[in-house]
Structure 1
């Protein structure tokens, strides 16, 4: 089973990371970034030709992560493949032992380094989620039976600051109905707006991983405000980065990220950190987030242990009722599970 799925189902605050494959076959740097984050995150996303720039495939990098004992999240976009290739890629991922897939539309070709390429978009993100759900149910998108079914934890993307939010919620609901088991969001910088978004989806029963993009400079923040739909970096954060000397930017970036996480933590199931090359900063941010998570999990274990001790004290030495024995077993398994899922 996907460890990411286990962590989210157990209600343990999850932290995931991300790497971008290289443009070429020299994969060492990307793997080093993944290994730097690995001990502090539950899983690592591998982007799929991000920004429509030609790179090594997400599937290949996910396989390399698996070989190193790192749980990957395959990203798969609709832009470059028809429904045959998309389904084949998901089956191939399952054959390799990849357990997580984030399914998304993908940036248009005009944004990338091959603007003359022909986009496919045979399916949209909702239809791709439906196709993945069909594969998990043992049949392809045309209804033909599979010889063996994939075990995939499938996610979708969301944009908390999309305007109008009501329209975005309609598409998100369609994604849930199509089989989305978790959401990963676009970058979050405004805690109040994220709370509004989280309140709107709070009854859906689908965990949300809030996107945390590490700010590297004031210029980067201004660029995102002008060019990245659904992302809005508040002016006070831009001013904060502008006033920070270059040699202090990594420290300031981590500080801002942790501040945002603290604001939104009550309203999400975890965070997805996008390092943009700053894997060391992402690892430090994840490490500090996990310190609080360990405290939360320890508190839950203590409460369960107290219930277990009380139950054991009430169980008769002879002729214990089946219900009491079942309750004891349940509490013991819950404690064992939380200990196993506690972040390092």
Structure 2
């Protein structure tokens, strides 16, 4: 990781932190995430839990907790086949305020015509990062009678957007006036069988156009270490930026439920036993996340972490701060707004029951 640059040289447009950056040679986008990764700095991204609401303030309040701690915010596209505010809508709100969203696109609900239109619209709004997903089946959600589309899958979606960006044309062959300048990502799951095939699947996604990937939750570091060894042996870590997925577990009960009910997430029994033996399981879950970060950041080929703190987003700053992964570097922070103190006070009220120290004070202490 290269040393952090002085604050005066951060990735900001001198005309305003909310304005797009100037393009750089060899970069696919104008986004901050791509700049951080290509400089060799350890990147941090996080996932924004989409609201069941049409109120934009619900998005802004959820995004505010990430400011100054992450390089990109994932705008989720109906994960679990459940309906929430759309990823396009979330990105429209985030880019308006200068945030760096990573727009997820799932193939379950849209055909290629709708997807290509969304890509152009997102790029026009300033979205610089797109994460391509096949998507969960509709049976996983609360509207199982919905009609699935799956016109494309994650591989063909990557290829579609790469063709739009690099060749300047739709899948039909019709030319684009202005191609979308986007940094393409995908998801990986080293923790689901067949394990030996997982590195090869990453290779296929890279060939299709993936420039960065975010992994499923990593609770088994030895398994992830083995996966990364194979990835390095294939030379894939030099062709793609790999972000390890991490997140806090709220309790042993939560961990056992995930272990039994969520396919693709592997939680070793030792992790659950550690939580069961803790006096404060929620606090132990946060510490466990920090410990895992400190292990995976030392694995060669790991370029960053993706923090998925579902319904615990207020702890992301604390987790990132105490893990020390930024090494003094501060990601982009939005210009001050009049309602910032309102948001900060609300977070303090949420957290005061299980913390004697104010989150802002704790983060400041770690940072100093």
CA contact (8 A) 1:38 1:44 kept: no
- Of 280, 290, 314 in structure 2, the residue corresponding to residue 280 of structure 1 is 314
CA shift, 1:224, in A, is: 1.7
2:95 counterpart residue number: 66
Task: Determine the C-alpha separation between the residues in 2 that align with 1:293 and 1:283.
Answer: 11
> What is the deviation of 1:225?
1.4
- CA change 1:295–1:287 in 2 (3 A) is closer
Which ranges in structure 1 are unaligned for 5 or more consecutive residues? 298-342
Matched, 1:256 2:288: yes
| Residue pair 1:20, 1:50 contacting (<8 A) in 2 also | no
Q: Which residue in 1 is equivalent to 2:35? A: 6
The DSSP-based 3-state class of the residue aligned with 1:171 is helix
SS at match of 1:21: coil
Which residue does 2:259 correspond to in 1? 225
2:128 and 2:181 in contact (8 A); partners too: yes
Question: In the alignment, is residue 57 of structure 1 matched against residue 64 of structure 2?
Answer: no
Per-residue deviation, 1:292? 4.4
**Cross-structure match for 1:139:** 169
RMSD: 1.9
Residue 237 of structure 1: aligned partner: 271
1:182 aligns with 2:182: no
Question: Are 1:210 and 1:271, in contact at CA under 8 Å, matched by a contact in 2?
Answer: yes
Name the counterpart of 1:93: 122
SS at match of 1:269: strand
Q: Deviations over 1:68-125 (max 9, x none)?
A: 2211100100000000011111111001010001010111100111100000000011
**1:168 alignment partner, one of 198, 201, 216:** 198
Equivalents in 1 of 2:325, 2:176: separation in Å?
A: 44
C-alpha contact 1:21 1:27 (8 A) present in aligned 2: no
Alignment match of 2:180 (pick from 150, 154, 157): 150
Partner of 1:335: none
The secondary structure found in structure 2 opposite 1:148 is coil
With over 3 angstroms needed to count, the CA separation of the structure-2 counterparts of 1:88 and 1:166, relative to structure 1, is same
* Distance in structure 1 (CA, Å) of the matches to 2:58 and 2:160: 34
| Count of residue correspondences | 296
Q: Distance in 2 between matches of 1:78 and 1:53?
A: 14
Residue in 2 that maps onto 1:200: 230
2: distance between equivalents of 1:199 and 1:143? 40
Aligned to 1:28: 57
Give 1:27 shift: 4.3
SS in structure 2 opposite 1:294?
Answer: coil
The DSSP-based 3-state class of the residue aligned with 2:326 is: helix
Structure 1, 73-82 or 206-215: larger mean CA deviation = 206-215
What is the distance in 1 between the residues matched to 2:198 and 2:152? 18
Contact 1:214 1:253 in 2 (8 A): yes
TM-score (norm 2): 0.77
**Please, which runs of 5 or more residues in structure 2 have no aligned partner?**
1-29, 331-366
Local SS of the residue matching 1:89? helix
